[in-house]
Structure 1
Amino acid sequence: MTGETRSKGRILLVEDEETVRDLHGAVLLSAGFETESAATLAELRRRIGSRRFDLVLLDLRLPDGNALDAVAEIRQTTSAGIIIATSSQDQKDRLEGLESGADEYLEKPVHPRELLARVNNLLGRLRDAGAVQGQSMVYRFEGWTVDLLARKVQFHAGGDVSLTENEFRLLEALIRNNGKPVHRDRLLSLWDDNEDITARAIDKAVYRMRLKLHAGLGQAAPLIETVHGYGYSFIARPL
């Protein structure tokens, strides 16, 4: 989230052993990451279908199937990095994990220092690769910059834009579809479950974003255009 204490990224922990899940979660939380968890493939699919994650830490053996079967689905649904973690010593498992599309492979038990090093290194590589391939995590506009990985919006003249997590999710979706209308239903699907989900909530969030951005830029021209009867479109051109 943007604000005084920003998350370094959102990580989905997919692990059926509660003690391992809690340990990994505590290590990542203490390092400044936001975490969510799933104990089954079914729950993993629900999570990635309704949330944006920067990285998925995926146990190889789950109660309802082999996690390798879900790697392709994760790749289709999200640009998140994938680290497979397993207690298996079988070299075949390691090769199959990497060949399936995973970015990293960790053997359990994982030392907390190694876990953090792998997570930080992978997120750094993804950020660099995104910029090279045009899938940038950093978007620069006239007078301001959005860093999707750091969850940060900054004015070039100085100062940050303080957005709620839901506001940032909406802004990210609009920026990634620059110039293309995004339907309200799509924006509603990004909304945090802890808050009421209504079309009116989307309208209010977009209104607040406009005020915050225009206040810092002193800009009268709209950045987010209303597409009546449909949704919203981000119309500012990146530099």
Structure 2
Amino acid sequence: MSWGIGILIVDDDPSLRSLIGEFLGNQGFTVLEADGGVQMREFLESHKIDVVILDVMMPGEDGLSLARSLAGRRDLSIIMVSALGSETDRIIGLEVGADDYLPKPVSPRELLARIRAVLRRQQPQDEDEDCYNCYRFGGWRFDLVRRVLYDPKNIIITLSEGEFSLLRTFVERPQRVLTRDQLLDYTRGPDSDAFDRAIDTQISRLRHKLSTRMADELIHTVRNEGYMFLPKVSRT
């Protein structure tokens, strides 16, 4: 399994884990689910986790205790979610080490916004720090190591596996017309039996993520030929 921004959902409610996990997975995150502290620690030992979404009220070791145990780790952020949503509860959650606190029921879209906010705070002040094997174009930064895209305001734009492969193909071959067959070969391999319409769908999704943040067209359709990635690209 390829690894991008890792999200670990820790909650004893499997239906809620599944609902949030599916939503975040569709946003391009790599999502793992744990039913409590034991599984949480196992995943933290074996995977690179960037954000832990932590329920407060769980049997056994509760979320507050788990948050305290993670408070010293600077490599991940903690977002607590709880049916206990009073001001006192939020203050306690933040004081034990959470970076953010959301009351249940959780809005998936608001949770996504909070995740992006804590991820921005994880980024170094100098955006060039620890960014090797990156492509840059028009103010954007495409990090091949973490498998994420940063917009000109340094906001993380999560990509699905297909979107990542497609953008990598474009930035490695900028300002060239690429046919659908070529794009399928580059992104899925020569043995792929996928229809060329799958490429059209991926391009539409990728265009949407790019076009909402800048006016200039980045991916140009060349009629009867294919697609061209328009901006100049540099690599660090």
Alpha-carbon deviation of 1:111? 1.3
Match of residue 227 from structure 2: none
SS at match of 2:116: helix
Q: Distance in 1 between matches of 2:51 and 2:130?
A: 14
Gap regions ≥5 residues in structure 1: 163-238
Q: How does 1:119-138 map to 2 (within 5 A)?
A: 119-127=115-123, 130-132=124-126, 136=129, 138=131
Alpha-carbon deviation of 1:8? 5.3
Q: 1:19 to 1:146 in 2, by over 3 A?
A: closer
- Contact 1:53–1:78, Cα closer than 8 Å, also in 2: no
Larger Rg: 2
TM-score (norm 2): 0.54
> Number of residues paired by the alignment?
156
Match of residue 172 from structure 2: 159
Q: Deviations over 1:89-117 (max 9, x none)?
A: 23222111111121111111111211111
Q: Distance in 1 between matches of 2:43 and 2:70?
A: 10
Q: Distance in 2 between matches of 1:34 and 1:71?
A: 21
- Contact 2:70–2:97, Cα closer than 8 Å, also in 1: no
Q: 1:102 to 1:31 in 2, by over 3 A?
A: same
Q: Distance in 2 between matches of 1:58 and 1:77?
A: 15
RMSD: 3.8
Q: 1:67 to 1:121 in 2, by over 3 A?
A: same
Q: Distance in 2 between matches of 1:101 and 1:139?
A: 31
Q: How does 1:168-179 map to 2 (within 5 A)?
A: none
SS at match of 2:8: strand
Which of 51, 63, 66 is 1:67 aligned to? 63
Q: 1:68 to 1:139 in 2, by over 3 A?
A: farther
Q: How does 1:1-239 map to 2 (within 5 A)?
A: 9-77=5-73, 79-127=75-123, 130-132=124-126, 136=129, 138-139=131-132, 148-150=145-147, 159=172
Q: Distance in 2 between matches of 1:88 and 1:116?
A: 20
- Contact 2:85–2:104, Cα closer than 8 Å, also in 1: no
SS at match of 1:13: strand
Q: Distance in 2 between matches of 1:41 and 1:79?
A: 18
Q: 1:124 to 1:40 in 2, by over 3 A?
A: same
SS at match of 1:97: helix
Q: 1:137 to 1:88 in 2, by over 3 A?
A: farther
- Contact 1:86–1:107, Cα closer than 8 Å, also in 2: yes
Letter in structure 2 aligned against 1:21? R
Alpha-carbon deviation of 1:38? 0.5
Letter in structure 1 aligned against 2:41? R
